[in-house]
Amino acid sequence: MEGTFLDASMETQDNQSIAINTNRCEYFISSANNIQCQNSTSYNCSHCLSSFCLKHGLQHQQDLQAAIHRLLTEAEVSYDD
Ligand SMILES: [Zn+2]
Ligand SMILES: [Zn+2]
């Protein structure tokens, strides 16, 4: 019984590594529901080395700029203290 369980879990790991090796957009449309974009990649982010489809590559750049802006704003607020 134990051996059967191990075989099943190893099979699951193999399937996961195959999924990671495909060139699929890494953008999560809904991170809460774990829904990932299914498009093939055509954009590589030089900042975090993630791959996205063109649409989400642009979206990711906007997300980065918003995140950087937020960090800068927070840094300014911290300076005031
Ligand atoms: Zn990035
Ligand atoms: Zn995408």
* Ion ligand 2 nearby residues (CB, 5 A): 25, 27, 37, 39, 53, 56
What are the residues whose beta carbons fall under 8 Å from the beta carbon of 43, sequence distance 6 or more?
Answer: 51, 52, 53, 54, 56, 57, 58, 60
pLDDT of residue 8: 52
Going from the Cα of 4 to the center of ligand 1, the distance in angstroms, rounded, reads: 41
Quote the CA–CA distance of 62 and 55 in Å, as a whole number: 11
The model's pTM: 0.59
Contact in structure between 57 and 43 (CB atoms under 8 Å) = yes
pLDDT of residue 33: 94
Quote the CA–CA distance of 74 and 53 in Å, as a whole number: 31
Going from the Cα of 16 to the center of ligand 1, the distance in angstroms, rounded, reads: 22
Quote the CA–CA distance of 48 and 56 in Å, as a whole number: 14
Per-residue pLDDT of the chain (81 residues; tens, 9 = 90+): 555 555 555 555 555 544 445 689 999 999 899 999 999 999 999 888 899 999 999 999 999 999 999 999 998 887 766
Going from the Cα of 18 to the center of ligand 2, the distance in angstroms, rounded, reads: 19
pLDDT of residue 76: 87
